Structure 1
């Protein structure tokens, strides 16, 4: 059966339930997604949301990290916490016969997290070690620098994992307050798929949600990318130049024209060897092994970004080529052949994007989260199929804001 929308009433709140029954394998996957609870909420200490998720992965206070993990392993149950920019996710997966036990273990974790100095110290050590290693990951360095240029003085300008300094400053009270404020019934959306009955899902998930405070939902902030072109050059001991670029992209998350942006961006920089950037930068000039550009449209931001690596002595030429390719793209649009090839790929590869239950659930969740109807993805494909060249080029020419490129470059 296809994914459907239902609800679970807990503490006077109707928590949305996205459910798909699939009896082909005796497995069940559950996600409880908390909105406006990801790294975008890190307004005081960078990395707190992700750090809180890592601490929840340390099991319960009663059993400890290893004891809790052993209990789960003995029943082939997996429980994890993770964060995105806008969301905090609790996920469980298990065999069909262990679904009720998986729900019980998750409820135990939420009632008795491992809030100990030992667990805190362990997570700090691991996080700081990871951040220290990333200082020599120049893709990571350039990407973070670009975010600073595009979203200055906002949570989006800081690394989702935080900095060494911010992580050192996190204490147990910070984590407790984060979890208490964000892991609440009023922010929850439940996503369940597998060989399980809907009534059983509702009964078990309700028990989990009842362990959480009712809380309150907060509107998600939206941050506009800077339209003032900037450049930041970071000097490092490197044999390559890492060029990251980005600009605003004026589009709302529920914009009905998003399918046009999807087609346009594929032609510009997402479509691999067929894209404009790859053609000009790699094929014609041999400046880089790969070059990409993508559009990110979410509730909290909307922007275009891209990246490439090139030789140190061809850095200026590569940067100039990026500017020229995007300028020509905006002013002259695309060709009929480019449009038709893109249609063939997007329509032809669609089955690969929905072949697993998790893919279908994720798509249904995103459509619901963005405020679209359940059949939105199907309608979007039909629009892509009917898209005319003139309509696409008119759309491309309207988005002159992508010409306002900022660059973050790591070089020697």
Structure 2
């Protein structure tokens, strides 16, 4: 199918993509839209007042739509696709296409709970070698379950929100010190957004992933490595992570990624049956990390050890319920090569080996005030080309107080 929207055909936001977002114009309430090319389609005026989606599409977040379930999402996507490819619909739909330059994008959904995983074998191995050079890089449980931690939902922010350098305790020679983090870092990740909830006391099987997950968003798990290193024993990440997590303005529906599913690299030893290794699949999503406009790394999500469905299955195996708006991150996306590392911790090998001198003009380790990081994502589209997930942008501001 070819869209009639000017400039959209063949772009990264063609009709086989159609990510959802929330937008507003001057003196108007925020509502739901779909991106097509460099335009946004305002969905609310295209739905009859008697439709059960009338109020859903006028909501200030995606949560009401996400909660409606997979079949509703499928029908809406089919209708939007038809409206944008049928030339006879152009007179009706055209007035509700708005250039992206004419809208303000908002936080796309209300985050219920936030969980972050640690699903890359290469990332976990690199971190182990950096911090435990005389030990095995992976702890004994890592190949048996998707390791994760609970984060802070209230500090998940939309792309473009400034990131203030956090303060906290750090390890000093004579005991803890307090002040701004000197080892501020990024983690390039994917975020998975839950639409359909589950009941407390039940679990979600690997095969039921698509019945609960609405879509995917780019995610940057900002990390203060010096604060993290002092606090994480024995309970794991806390203040070194909770100050900010950035996500894209756009949530790409799972249907747009139908052509991106691939086999996992391989899991050894075989995970327990509830993690259904024979049914678990990964995603072929390419990532770019740009520092101040220069690409410094290109991780590949297809190298991840644990699949998104296995993460969801493990997250609920104890009976923990899902809520609409739950967000779980993949953990840092890193590959086997140096130019595929998804954090500055790895790129600089713990700060000991500055990176990027040839392309940045000087070697870098951790983030400096004024730095801007942009994460970009692309995947195979169902139309034969590539689609883009929304980028994630953050600029570092000096510590306050």
Q: Which TM-score band (shorter chain)?
A: under 0.3
**TM-score where L is the length of structure 1:** 0.27
TM-score (norm 2): 0.28
Bigger helix share: 1
Larger % of strand: which?
2
Q: Which structure's CA Rg is the greater one? A: 1
